[in-house]
Structure 1
């Protein structure tokens, strides 16, 4: 069995970064997505220097913080105070049956600016790209085109938008949903383990949001205790034992890259 454990929101805040550091130390997480426009971005980069083997992607963020592009050009994505329109607002609009991120030109400019910012910070392009918090066909369409332009892996929630993949792994049950239903972090591995066994040696992946809480997380994220649970889940002896007992091969997004 093959499994990718992808950790999102790297750079969101200092508290999140310390949680990400904790899971990186376990060696189980091989792919991690960097947010380039958040308070913890520079600290996150210092952490990645300690783990050069980790696959570093861009966690494109258009819902929290301020843009990387000129605000005058991407104004349709912003509130009056200059911050991005929040994910809470977008989710409300989606619930009302409305489309979001319809200004694809502005979306492209901002995502491309974040790719450029990633390059400025790291000296290289992202190895993969994904998006933060809100799922939208308009957003995915733009990201897919940019993934192709820059030859980055894009493993989209909706497979029709994925790009540059040599394999299309199955996404397993969400850890966030598991905790919200009262699940114990020690037992999450049993849930996804059963799913992996049923998949019969197929490629799978999960998305986690490890972190510790600080004022930035409490003020700007709906994911709070979920983050600490994800840290506990990855550090759990049960998680490590199940993966070892079942000889699960832990991989990164590099294993998905289409050979051209």
Structure 2
């Protein structure tokens, strides 16, 4: 089995960035996805350039923080903050033209860093929301990169980064027996979603998921890789 450990939220805080780099240098993390509206994006880009072996994708955002595109109306409030949150499925569908405009702005901001774009995923997996499915596939095609597996894209395997996504390495699911769990998945190529960090005050102030990131980092740096696994 091929396994890609991806670290989400690259660029959120310096502690998150440092934790991701630590889990890459001394652990199993092979890629990270950069959220272009994060407060520590410049710090993340510099760190990634010091470690060119780390594959970096984009963590498209529509449910946290401020938009990058200044010319938006319906998908942001008066301060430019996105109107959607993690419970987006209970809310109205965003304007697709404005969403595409913002996401392309984020994509172009990523490319302007000079980092090679590895793949696309999103904060809270919103790229897997059925109303945004065609937009996600269009971006993948236009930018010629694969997309994180989500159920709504299962029928478009040619666009997918892996055959499956493991999201249970999170919260109470952060345990060192992850390979035992992955072995039960009927897939040859799996992505594991992770959130390693050195928890800092900035993270505690802006994220409801903070302290478990320390445990994630420690476990990701101590895992023993079975002989049936190839880390990507």
TM-score when normalising by structure 1: 0.79
How many Å apart are 1:123 and its aligned residue?
Answer: 5.6
Contact persistence 1:153–1:163 (CA under 8 A): no
Contact persistence 2:149–2:161 (CA under 8 A): no
| 1:44 aligned residue | 44
Aligned counterparts of 1:23 and 1:165: Cα–Cα separation in 2 = 27
Q: Give 1:196's match in structure 2, choosing from 178, 182, 206.
A: 182
Q: Give 2:138's match in structure 1, choosing from 145, 154, 162.
A: 145
Q: Give 1:75's match in structure 2, choosing from 68, 73, 76.
A: 73
C-alpha offsets along residues 6-39 of structure 1, whole Å, 9 cap, x if unaligned?
Answer: 1110001112111112111125111110111211
Matched, 1:217 2:203: yes
Unaligned runs of 5+ in 2: none
- Cα RMSD between the aligned structures? 2.3
**Partner SS state of residue 36, structure 2:** coil
Contact persistence 2:27–2:220 (CA under 8 A): no
**Partner SS state of residue 82, structure 1:** coil
Residues 1:85 and 1:203: Cα distance change in structure 2 (over 3 Å): same
Contact persistence 1:217–1:224 (CA under 8 A): yes
| 1:256 aligned residue | none
Residues 1:137 and 1:230: Cα distance change in structure 2 (over 3 Å): same
Residues 1:51 and 1:194: Cα distance change in structure 2 (over 3 Å): same
C-alpha offsets along residues 199-220 of structure 1, whole Å, 9 cap, x if unaligned?
Answer: 4772222100111223332222
How many Å apart are 1:229 and its aligned residue?
Answer: 1.9
Aligned counterparts of 1:44 and 1:60: Cα–Cα separation in 2 = 16
Aligned counterparts of 2:161 and 2:57: Cα–Cα separation in 1 = 18
Q: Give 1:174's match in structure 2, choosing from 168, 171, 176.
A: 168
**Structure holding more helix per residue:** 1
Q: Map 1:113-132; keep pairs closer than 5 Å.
A: 113-122=105-114, 124=116, 126-132=117-123
- Bigger Rg over Cα: 1
Q: Map 1:1-260; keep pairs closer than 5 Å.
A: 1-70=1-70, 72=71, 74-88=72-86, 91=87, 94=89, 97-100=90-93, 102-122=94-114, 124=116, 126-135=117-126, 136-158=129-151, 159-160=153-154, 164-165=158-159, 168-176=162-170, 179-180=171-172, 185=174, 188-190=175-177, 192-199=178-185, 202-236=188-222, 239=223, 241=224, 243=225, 245-251=226-232
C-alpha offsets along residues 138-197 of structure 1, whole Å, 9 cap, x if unaligned?
Answer: 234312211111111112322337564477422235111xx33xx5x4xx232x322333
Unaligned runs of 5+ in 1: 252-260
Aligned counterparts of 2:176 and 2:80: Cα–Cα separation in 1 = 41
Contact persistence 2:148–2:165 (CA under 8 A): no
Contact persistence 2:140–2:159 (CA under 8 A): no
